[in-house]
Amino acid sequence: MKNGPLLIIGGAEEKYSGVTILKKFVELSQKHEGKVGILTTATKIPIEVGGEYKTVFENLGIENPITLDVDSRQKSEDPKILKDVEGLSALFITGGDQSRLTQMITGTKLHKLFFDKWKQGMVLGGTSAGASIMGKHMIVNALTKDSDEILQVEMDIGFGFMENMLIDQHFSQRARFDRLLGAIAGNPDLMGIGIDENTAILVEGDQFEVIGEHQVLILDGKENSFVEVNKTEEGSEELTLSNFKLHTLTHGYKFDLKNRRLLFKGE
Protein backbone atom coordinates (compact mmCIF):
# COMPACT_ATOMS: atom_id res chain seq x y z
CA MET A 1 0.00 0.00 0.00
CA LYS A 2 1.32 3.45 -0.90
CA ASN A 3 1.65 6.39 1.47
CA GLY A 4 -1.41 8.59 1.90
CA PRO A 5 -1.57 12.02 0.25
CA LEU A 6 -0.30 15.07 2.13
CA LEU A 7 -2.21 18.34 1.82
CA ILE A 8 0.15 21.00 3.18
CA ILE A 9 -1.39 24.46 3.57
CA GLY A 10 0.37 27.80 4.04
CA GLY A 11 -2.21 29.01 6.57
CA ALA A 12 -5.24 31.32 6.51
CA GLU A 13 -7.09 29.04 4.09
CA GLU A 14 -10.60 30.16 3.13
CA LYS A 15 -13.18 28.36 5.28
CA TYR A 16 -16.57 29.74 4.29
CA SER A 17 -16.60 30.77 0.61
CA GLY A 18 -14.58 29.30 -2.23
CA VAL A 19 -13.16 26.67 0.12
CA THR A 20 -11.05 25.06 -2.61
CA ILE A 21 -8.33 23.66 -0.36
CA LEU A 22 -10.50 22.25 2.43
CA LYS A 23 -12.87 20.79 -0.17
CA LYS A 24 -9.87 18.90 -1.55
CA PHE A 25 -9.08 17.54 1.93
CA VAL A 26 -12.68 16.36 2.32
CA GLU A 27 -12.68 14.82 -1.16
CA LEU A 28 -9.50 12.87 -0.36
CA SER A 29 -10.81 11.73 3.02
CA GLN A 30 -14.05 10.39 1.51
CA LYS A 31 -12.15 7.92 -0.66
CA HIS A 32 -11.56 5.73 2.41
CA GLU A 33 -13.74 4.39 5.20
CA GLY A 34 -13.21 5.92 8.61
CA LYS A 35 -13.61 9.12 10.55
CA VAL A 36 -11.87 12.46 10.07
CA GLY A 37 -9.77 13.62 13.02
CA ILE A 38 -8.84 17.20 13.90
CA LEU A 39 -5.62 17.52 15.91
CA THR A 40 -5.60 20.77 17.93
CA THR A 41 -2.30 20.33 19.82
CA ALA A 42 -0.60 23.34 18.19
CA THR A 43 -3.17 25.87 19.39
CA LYS A 44 -3.71 27.24 22.89
CA ILE A 45 -7.42 27.64 22.16
CA PRO A 46 -8.32 24.07 21.09
CA ILE A 47 -12.06 24.29 21.78
CA GLU A 48 -12.50 27.32 19.51
CA VAL A 49 -10.17 26.12 16.75
CA GLY A 50 -11.36 22.53 16.83
CA GLY A 51 -14.99 23.65 16.85
CA GLU A 52 -14.46 25.90 13.83
CA TYR A 53 -12.90 23.12 11.72
CA LYS A 54 -15.57 20.66 12.90
CA THR A 55 -18.26 23.02 11.60
CA VAL A 56 -16.44 23.61 8.32
CA PHE A 57 -15.96 19.88 7.66
CA GLU A 58 -19.57 19.09 8.58
CA ASN A 59 -20.72 21.80 6.14
CA LEU A 60 -18.59 20.09 3.47
CA GLY A 61 -20.23 16.72 4.08
CA ILE A 62 -18.10 15.01 6.74
CA GLU A 63 -20.19 13.16 9.32
CA ASN A 64 -19.13 13.53 12.96
CA PRO A 65 -15.48 14.59 12.68
CA ILE A 66 -13.67 14.04 15.97
CA THR A 67 -11.38 16.45 17.79
CA LEU A 68 -8.14 15.13 19.26
CA ASP A 69 -7.13 17.47 22.09
CA VAL A 70 -3.66 16.13 22.83
CA ASP A 71 -2.14 18.68 25.21
CA SER A 72 0.49 16.52 26.97
CA ARG A 73 2.88 13.68 26.24
CA GLN A 74 0.79 11.53 28.57
CA LYS A 75 -2.20 11.92 26.23
CA SER A 76 0.04 10.88 23.33
CA GLU A 77 0.31 7.50 25.05
CA ASP A 78 -3.40 7.30 26.03
CA PRO A 79 -5.00 4.03 24.76
CA LYS A 80 -8.33 5.77 24.09
CA ILE A 81 -6.75 8.42 21.87
CA LEU A 82 -4.68 5.77 20.08
CA LYS A 83 -7.85 3.76 19.45
CA ASP A 84 -9.60 6.84 18.02
CA VAL A 85 -6.68 7.41 15.64
CA GLU A 86 -6.75 3.76 14.55
CA GLY A 87 -10.22 4.40 13.11
CA LEU A 88 -9.30 7.50 11.07
CA SER A 89 -9.31 7.79 7.30
CA ALA A 90 -7.88 11.32 7.48
CA LEU A 91 -6.19 13.61 9.99
CA PHE A 92 -6.14 17.41 9.87
CA ILE A 93 -3.50 19.26 11.94
CA THR A 94 -4.47 22.81 12.86
CA GLY A 95 -2.28 25.89 13.13
CA GLY A 96 -0.75 27.42 16.25
CA ASP A 97 2.78 26.86 17.49
CA GLN A 98 4.61 23.95 15.84
CA SER A 99 6.93 23.53 18.83
CA ARG A 100 3.90 22.39 20.86
CA LEU A 101 3.45 19.52 18.41
CA THR A 102 7.08 18.51 18.87
CA GLN A 103 6.99 18.81 22.66
CA MET A 104 3.80 16.81 23.11
CA ILE A 105 3.80 14.27 20.28
CA THR A 106 7.17 13.70 18.54
CA GLY A 107 8.65 10.37 19.59
CA THR A 108 5.50 9.06 21.31
CA LYS A 109 3.21 6.12 20.47
CA LEU A 110 0.82 8.61 18.86
CA HIS A 111 3.55 9.91 16.55
CA LYS A 112 4.44 6.36 15.50
CA LEU A 113 0.76 5.59 14.90
CA PHE A 114 0.36 8.70 12.71
CA PHE A 115 3.33 7.54 10.65
CA ASP A 116 2.11 3.94 10.40
CA LYS A 117 -1.40 5.03 9.41
CA TRP A 118 0.01 7.38 6.75
CA LYS A 119 2.12 4.51 5.38
CA GLN A 120 -1.14 2.55 5.11
CA GLY A 121 -2.81 5.34 3.11
CA MET A 122 -4.32 7.74 5.67
CA VAL A 123 -4.81 11.26 4.33
CA LEU A 124 -2.88 13.96 6.21
CA GLY A 125 -3.66 17.67 6.04
CA GLY A 126 -2.00 20.47 7.95
CA THR A 127 -2.17 24.26 7.98
CA SER A 128 0.39 26.81 9.23
CA ALA A 129 2.10 25.04 12.18
CA GLY A 130 0.44 21.87 10.93
CA ALA A 131 2.27 22.40 7.63
CA SER A 132 5.69 23.01 9.17
CA ILE A 133 5.49 19.81 11.23
CA MET A 134 5.19 17.66 8.08
CA GLY A 135 8.93 17.66 7.41
CA LYS A 136 11.64 15.79 9.27
CA HIS A 137 13.10 19.22 10.08
CA MET A 138 11.24 22.46 10.67
CA ILE A 139 11.82 26.14 11.41
CA VAL A 140 10.67 27.02 14.91
CA ASN A 141 11.64 30.67 14.99
CA ALA A 142 13.87 33.29 13.45
CA LEU A 143 15.24 35.82 15.89
CA THR A 144 15.53 39.19 14.19
CA LYS A 145 17.18 42.49 14.96
CA ASP A 146 14.91 44.20 12.46
CA SER A 147 12.82 43.10 9.50
CA ASP A 148 15.72 42.26 7.22
CA GLU A 149 18.58 41.14 9.49
CA ILE A 150 18.20 37.51 10.52
CA LEU A 151 20.34 36.69 13.52
CA GLN A 152 19.49 33.04 13.96
CA VAL A 153 17.12 30.48 12.50
CA GLU A 154 16.05 28.05 15.18
CA MET A 155 15.36 24.49 13.95
CA ASP A 156 13.68 21.46 15.48
CA ILE A 157 12.49 17.97 14.54
CA GLY A 158 9.12 17.54 12.83
CA PHE A 159 6.94 14.49 12.22
CA GLY A 160 9.04 13.34 9.26
CA PHE A 161 6.47 12.69 6.53
CA MET A 162 8.66 14.62 4.07
CA GLU A 163 12.19 13.44 4.66
CA ASN A 164 14.29 16.03 2.83
CA MET A 165 11.92 18.99 2.80
CA LEU A 166 11.81 22.08 5.00
CA ILE A 167 8.40 23.73 4.90
CA ASP A 168 7.66 27.36 5.77
CA GLN A 169 4.19 28.93 5.78
CA HIS A 170 2.46 32.35 5.61
CA PHE A 171 5.42 32.79 3.30
CA SER A 172 5.02 35.96 1.20
CA GLN A 173 2.55 37.52 3.61
CA ARG A 174 5.09 37.48 6.47
CA ALA A 175 8.20 38.10 4.32
CA ARG A 176 9.87 34.81 5.24
CA PHE A 177 12.19 34.46 2.24
CA ASP A 178 15.28 35.47 4.23
CA ARG A 179 14.64 33.01 7.04
CA LEU A 180 14.06 30.12 4.62
CA LEU A 181 17.18 31.07 2.68
CA GLY A 182 19.18 31.16 5.92
CA ALA A 183 17.86 27.76 6.95
CA ILE A 184 18.66 26.17 3.57
CA ALA A 185 22.10 27.81 3.51
CA GLY A 186 22.82 26.02 6.78
CA ASN A 187 21.24 22.77 5.56
CA PRO A 188 21.80 22.63 1.78
CA ASP A 189 20.75 18.97 1.50
CA LEU A 190 17.22 20.04 2.39
CA MET A 191 14.86 21.60 -0.12
CA GLY A 192 12.99 24.62 1.19
CA ILE A 193 9.30 25.01 0.34
CA GLY A 194 7.63 28.33 1.18
CA ILE A 195 3.83 28.21 0.92
CA ASP A 196 1.69 31.35 0.79
CA GLU A 197 -1.58 31.81 2.67
CA ASN A 198 -4.72 30.23 1.17
CA THR A 199 -2.36 28.09 -0.93
CA ALA A 200 -1.38 24.46 -0.56
CA ILE A 201 0.66 21.67 -2.06
CA LEU A 202 -0.90 18.24 -2.56
CA VAL A 203 1.89 15.67 -2.29
CA GLU A 204 1.22 12.32 -3.90
CA GLY A 205 4.16 9.99 -4.47
CA ASP A 206 7.21 11.84 -5.77
CA GLN A 207 5.44 14.99 -6.90
CA PHE A 208 3.18 17.74 -5.68
CA GLU A 209 0.56 20.00 -7.24
CA VAL A 210 -0.12 23.59 -6.16
CA ILE A 211 -3.71 24.42 -5.16
CA GLY A 212 -5.07 27.81 -4.16
CA GLU A 213 -4.84 31.54 -4.49
CA HIS A 214 -1.15 32.47 -4.40
CA GLN A 215 2.21 30.80 -4.99
CA VAL A 216 4.72 28.29 -3.67
CA LEU A 217 8.45 29.01 -3.68
CA ILE A 218 11.11 26.28 -3.75
CA LEU A 219 14.72 26.85 -2.71
CA ASP A 220 17.13 24.10 -3.74
CA GLY A 221 20.71 24.25 -2.49
CA LYS A 222 21.74 20.69 -3.36
CA GLU A 223 24.01 21.75 -6.24
CA ASN A 224 25.42 24.78 -4.44
CA SER A 225 29.02 25.67 -5.20
CA PHE A 226 29.64 28.07 -2.32
CA VAL A 227 28.12 29.02 1.04
CA GLU A 228 29.64 31.49 3.49
CA VAL A 229 28.00 33.01 6.55
CA ASN A 230 29.58 36.13 8.02
CA LYS A 231 28.69 37.89 11.26
CA THR A 232 28.51 41.65 11.13
CA GLU A 233 29.74 43.87 13.96
CA GLU A 234 26.11 44.34 14.95
CA GLY A 235 25.72 40.55 15.33
CA SER A 236 23.53 39.82 12.31
CA GLU A 237 24.33 37.16 9.72
CA GLU A 238 25.04 37.93 6.06
CA LEU A 239 25.21 35.25 3.39
CA THR A 240 27.35 34.74 0.31
CA LEU A 241 25.84 31.96 -1.82
CA SER A 242 26.31 30.56 -5.30
CA ASN A 243 24.34 28.18 -7.49
CA PHE A 244 21.16 27.88 -5.44
CA LYS A 245 18.08 27.10 -7.55
CA LEU A 246 14.80 28.97 -7.20
CA HIS A 247 11.38 27.89 -8.49
CA THR A 248 7.98 29.53 -8.01
CA LEU A 249 4.72 27.75 -8.86
CA THR A 250 1.10 28.82 -8.96
CA HIS A 251 -2.22 26.97 -9.00
CA GLY A 252 -2.27 23.89 -11.23
CA TYR A 253 1.47 23.51 -11.65
CA LYS A 254 3.28 20.38 -10.48
CA PHE A 255 6.78 19.75 -9.17
CA ASP A 256 8.87 16.58 -9.43
CA LEU A 257 10.39 16.07 -5.96
CA LYS A 258 12.67 13.23 -7.08
CA ASN A 259 14.27 15.09 -9.98
CA ARG A 260 13.76 18.53 -8.43
CA ARG A 261 12.17 20.20 -11.43
CA LEU A 262 8.98 21.89 -12.60
CA LEU A 263 6.58 19.65 -14.49
CA PHE A 264 5.07 21.56 -17.40
CA LYS A 265 1.34 21.25 -17.91
CA GLY A 266 0.60 18.06 -19.81
CA GLU A 267 3.61 16.15 -18.46
Round to whole Å and give the CA distance between 71 and 81.
12
Q: Which of 128, 132, 209, 213 is catalytic?
A: 128
Task: Name the nearest CA neighbour of 11 among 103, 110, 95, 120.
Answer: 95
Q: Which of 29, 170, 209, 213 is catalytic?
A: 170
Round to whole Å and give the CA distance between 111 and 49.
21
Kindly provide the residue ranges of all beta strands, DSSP E only, lying in 72-214, ordered along the sequence. 88-93, 123-127, 137-146, 149-157, 165-169, 191-195, 199-204, 207-212
Kindly provide the residue ranges of all beta strands, DSSP E only, lying in 27-146, ordered along the sequence. 35-39, 66-68, 88-93, 123-127, 137-146
State yes or no: is 170 an active-site residue: yes
Q: Is 46 helix (H, G, I), strand (E, B) or coil?
A: helix
CA separation (Å) from 170 to 12, 177, 183, 192? 8, 11, 16, 14
Q: Output phi, psi for 53, to 5 deg.
A: -65, -35
Round to whole Å and give the CA distance between 56 and 158.
27
The residues that are catalytic are 128, 170, 197
